Chains A and B, each alone.
Chain A
Amino acid sequence: MSEDDLWKRLARLTPARIGLGRAGSGLPTREVLGFGLAHARARDAVHTPMDVEAITEAVEALGLFVTAVASRAEDRATYLRRPDYGRRLAPASRDSLVEAAGESVDLALVVADGLSARAVHEGAARMLAALQPLADKAGWSLGPVVVASQARVALGDEIGMLLKAKAVAVLIGERPGLSSPDSLGLYLTFEPKPGRSDAERNCISNVRPAGLSHDLAAFKLHWLIAQTFSRGLSGVALKDESDAALEGPAERDALPGSSA
């Protein structure tokens, strides 16, 4: 086998950028430009504004009610410097949610731009479409889907509280990686209210076509929500054991003495 063929084979074993070759100490031109393009896409994912109208239309097409809100961060530059602003609602949005709130609900759903509007544009409606039948089957009452701009995960705490929800699930654009500008994160918080810590949430990460599929992510989220309701908590005390529900217990505890 030639050296080139060998590295091509090895490169298939990992998404990491291996076997790139070199020009002296530097990268070949195709790799420098390829990296530049990937970085440009990740930058665009961070800085492209979320298209609230398009998201609203796509979610309404699923038969769900939608309401749009904004955080206290007025623009992207402020959002990036002031995570505290991204965690609280703008006063006008707060007022409108207070008005929109009806009776208490089981689950509030938030679609948040986070750090990748692209992830939301490409994945949020599909994610909700995959979750909807599972939520219907479980008989959970839902609040309106809240589409939130310049939002951090913790904005869901205030939204969930105002909607009188038992739990909130936030679908948010994750910090884009060079090879994953389109990744959604799902965060679940029981009894949401401002001041909840990250240790009180469960997270499902890397939801995108080349990562965790929407169907599998919906299954995991549904499993976590059901556990949250039955155990009355979310966060570090609730481990994601949905794999076992999918595969059966055979693979677990294969390592002697493992406490996993």
Chain B
Amino acid sequence: MAYRHVVGPRTHVFADLATLMAKATPIRSGDRLAGIAAESAEEMMAARWCLADVALSEIVARPLIPYEDDDVTRLILDTHDQAAFAEIAHLTVGDFREFLLTASSETLARIAPAVTPEIAAAVSKIMRNQDLILVARKCRVVTKFRNTIGLPGTLAVRLQPNHPTDEPKGITASILDGLSYGCGDAVIGINPASDSIRTLSSLLGLLDDVIQRLAIPTQSCVLTHVTTTLDAMNRGLPVDLVFQSIAGTQQANASFGVTLAILKEAHEAALALKRGPLGDNVMYFETGQGSALSADAHHGIDQQTLEARAYAVARVYRPLLVNSVVGFIGPEYLYDGKEIIRAGLEDHFCGKLMGVPLGVDVCYTNHAEADQDDMDTLLTLLGAAGCTYVMGVPGADDVMLNYQSTSFHDALYIREVLGLKRAPEFAAWLHEIGLADGEGALLPGGAGTALLTAAPDLAA
């Protein structure tokens, strides 16, 4: 069905809902690359006016990819909470924006299972950055494994101690550095350079050892393919969290070598290990705008809507952590600081609205038109928006993945400026071992020596 909007003498026509949503999207290079972006500023605004009048019930009734063709569409519709949807079904996208701005945290939690990714994406397209921040800030998504993540007023940090050749001593040195800045409550998570089971085994053992020796209330993850992690669990290796990159279409997931069935199998295997004393959120997912286009699996749908569909995939496995790698995929999808900042806020908002514990890898590559100032801006905005977690990379320079993310220092900055606390169990541990005071401020001196008990041979 075509959509129409009249602006003065001109009638703008949009062939279908996917086209309308693509044209309503704030401009970004990936939608232009796909040939689906608005062709003028007026066309973009006409699309937003038109989208604002579309009923939420109509969005649910018109899947962007047919039910028969795509298992992500089937998952979205089969898990749609009809009872919760009754509260918002009568609203248009424009009404829904106003509903969200006035809704309480309790209301937002109640409707989260009724929010399909297409609804979240549609409303985000007519929201300004301040709307995305204000509404996301009210959403509460709390998850637990060895600590509690997502409580109001907290921000967690993934300690990311990558090394170009997976050298265990080098990785341990980066872990100790990160812990000394009070980072690592979200997870200590390594991107390995090698995906061999031998490497995985060595790194899982290393992480388990550090966490046990220092009795750190946190969890570990080696970010390798889900099938490799399944293999590791079958071998009895110490797996806390199962990681996988996911996307918003069946075909894009296939390009990652994953199916919903494999994710389910891995989820069940990790649950059976019962390694989380506080809770059983055992999955960790990464996503990013542009991944479906990159896999030539986008079905003519804009990249921001497809990104929200990836959160629908994540949601059914009750993950501990999900993050968009917003600036990582490259300038052909998000060209500059402005596009990366907007996308980071959209991704965080859509995830939270859908009830997913969204963090953001605030980051950029050296061929994007972006720099540290842009990252400072996005980090500050996400801190205000109640982002679940960000990355902690030594000096912001990931020497394995060759991109810039947020640093241990950046985490200290955002805590000082916005008064954000760590996960409570982790904060108590830092206080107990003498790294931080009761308020979470780092204490001067002695951090390294206290932590070195985890790896006595390192300083030899």
Residues of A within 8 A of B (CB): 1, 3, 6-7, 9-11, 13-20, 22, 24-27, 31, 35-36, 38-39, 42-43, 45-46, 80-84, 115, 174-181, 206, 211, 254-255, 257-260
Q: List 13 A-B contacts (CB under 8 A).
A: A6-B452, A11-B173, A16-B161, A16-B394, A24-B416, A27-B409, A45-B366, A80-B367, A82-B33, A83-B33, A178-B399, A206-B164, A255-B201
**B452 → chain A closest CB, angstroms:** 7
Most buried by B among A18, A22, A39: A18
For A38, the closest partner residue in chain B by CB is B397
Partner of A16, one of B174, B331, B366: B174
Partner of A80, one of B197, B335, B402, B416: B335
**Contact at B173–A18, with CB atoms within 8 Å?**
yes
A80-B331, A179-B397 are known contacts. Are A16 and B402 too (CB-CB below 8 A)? no
Cβ of B3 under 8 Å from chain A: no
**Contact at B395–A31, with CB atoms within 8 Å?**
yes
- A39 and B402 CA atoms in complex are apart in Å by 11
Residues of A within 8 A of B371 (CB): 39
**Binary interface profile of B, 415-449, with partner A (CB < 8 Å = 1, else 0)?**
11000000000000000000000000000011111
- A232 and B335 CA atoms in complex are apart in Å by 39
Interface size class, chain B: 35 or more
**Binary interface profile of B, 375-398, with partner A (CB < 8 Å = 1, else 0)?**
000000000000000000111111
**Contact at A22–B366, with CB atoms within 8 Å?**
no
**Contact at B399–A10, with CB atoms within 8 Å?**
no
**B120 → chain A closest CB, angstroms:** 27
For B30, the closest partner residue in chain A by CB is A81
**Contact at A81–B198, with CB atoms within 8 Å?**
no
Cβ of B76 under 8 Å from chain A: no
Q: Give the top 5 A-B pairs by smallest Cβ distance, nearest first.
A: A17-B395, A177-B402, A14-B170, A25-B412, A18-B177
Residues of B within 8 A of A206 (CB): 164
For B366, the closest partner residue in chain A by CB is A42
**Contact at A16–B404, with CB atoms within 8 Å?**
no
For B296, the closest partner residue in chain A by CB is A197
**B255 → chain A closest CB, angstroms:** 9
- A3 and B443 CA atoms in complex are apart in Å by 13
**B257 → chain A closest CB, angstroms:** 10
- A175 and B196 CA atoms in complex are apart in Å by 24
For A42, the closest partner residue in chain B by CB is B366
Partner of A81, one of B32, B235, B398, B407: B32
**Binary interface profile of B, 169-195, with partner A (CB < 8 Å = 1, else 0)?**
111111011000100000000000000
Residues of B within 8 A of A (CB): 29, 32-33, 161-164, 167, 169-174, 176-177, 181, 196-198, 201, 235, 331-332, 335, 365-367, 371-372, 393-399, 402-404, 407, 409, 412-413, 415-416, 445-449, 452, 458-459
- A45 and B365 CA atoms in complex are apart in Å by 13
For B177, the closest partner residue in chain A by CB is A18
Interface of chain A, main secondary structure: loop
A9-B459, A176-B366, A257-B235 are known contacts. Are A17 and B397 too (CB-CB below 8 A)? yes
**A198 → chain B closest CB, angstroms:** 10
- A82 and B161 CA atoms in complex are apart in Å by 33
**Contact at A26–B397, with CB atoms within 8 Å?**
no
**A155 → chain B closest CB, angstroms:** 15
- A181 and B397 CA atoms in complex are apart in Å by 13
- A43 and B365 CA atoms in complex are apart in Å by 10
- A178 and B398 CA atoms in complex are apart in Å by 8
For A1, the closest partner residue in chain B by CB is B459
**Contact at B335–A22, with CB atoms within 8 Å?**
no
**Contact at A25–B409, with CB atoms within 8 Å?**
yes
Residues of A within 8 A of B170 (CB): 13-16
**A68 → chain B closest CB, angstroms:** 23
Residues of B within 8 A of A179 (CB): 397, 399
Partner of B395, one of A20, A43, A46, A82: A20
**Contact at A14–B413, with CB atoms within 8 Å?**
no
Residues of B within 8 A of A36 (CB): 372
**A34 → chain B closest CB, angstroms:** 9
**B330 → chain A closest CB, angstroms:** 8
**B390 → chain A closest CB, angstroms:** 14
**A221 → chain B closest CB, angstroms:** 19
- A148 and B411 CA atoms in complex are apart in Å by 43
**B158 → chain A closest CB, angstroms:** 15
**A119 → chain B closest CB, angstroms:** 12
Partner of A39, one of B177, B366, B445, B448: B366
**Contact at A15–B367, with CB atoms within 8 Å?**
no
Residues of B within 8 A of A257 (CB): 235
Residues of A within 8 A of B332 (CB): 80-83
Residues of A within 8 A of B169 (CB): 13-14
